């Protein structure tokens, strides 16, 4: 069976994320996002070139979760698709594109964080009690004596 893939986008949140509603009343997350670009030089080093800025949106419960978890400056990786959008700004028709994220997470290469592994259905219990990290089995002590 073929591996199903989607477009991805990695970057940073460049504006304060906004949570609004669509015309149907569904949650809509919006943020202006930045993408840093680099050029590889002949000597193997990299030179940073101009950063570009784009629109990122999410819809539904994922939009609410993203709004709760992301803030300006956060590095992220998202999967989804790019679409063309047309809107009016100051009486002028604007053609642009936006990345519609279906999933989004913090970029683990650039973000320090702790993982809460308690089951989601135990959310109320998790909020009430302190989280204990998973225990790992202790290693058996190694013997230095050798018997013959």
- Report pLDDT digits (tens) over 84-112: 999 898 999 999 999 999 999 999 999 99
44 vs 123, which has greater pLDDT?
44
pLDDT at 52: 97
Report the distance separating Cα 82 and Cα 86, nearest Å: 13
pLDDT at 87: 87
Would you state the pLDDT for residue 116?
A: 87
Which residue, 23, 86, 9, 114, is CA-closest to 52?
9
What pTM was computed for the model? 0.74
**CA 48, 49, 50, 53 torsion: positive or negative?**
negative
pLDDT in tens, 26-63: 999 999 999 999 999 999 999 999 999 999 999 999 99
Closest by Cα among 117, 19, 5 to 68? 19
| Element at 128 (helix H, strand E) | helix 123-128
Tokens of 14: 């460049």
Nearest-Å Rg of the Cα atoms of the chain is 22
């Amino acid at each position: 069976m073929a591996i199903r893939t989607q477009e991805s986008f990695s970057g940073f949140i460049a504006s304060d994320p906004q949570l609004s509603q669509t015309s149907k009343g569904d949650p809509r997350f919006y943020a202006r996002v930045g993408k840093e670009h680099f050029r590889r030089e002949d000597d193997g080093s990299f030179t940073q070139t101009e950063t570009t800025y784009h629109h990122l949106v999410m819809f539904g419960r994922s939009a609410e979760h993203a709004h709760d978890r992301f803030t300006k400056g956060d590095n992220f990786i998202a999967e989804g698709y790019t679409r063309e959008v047309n809107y009016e700004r100051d009486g002028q028709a604007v053609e642009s594109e936006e990345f519609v994220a279906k999933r989004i997470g913090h970029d683990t290469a650039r973000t320090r964080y702790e993982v809460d592994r308690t089951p989601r259905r135990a959310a109320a219990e998790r909020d009430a009690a302190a989280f204990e990290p998973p225990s790992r089995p202790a290693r058996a002590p190694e013997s230095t004596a050798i018997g013959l």
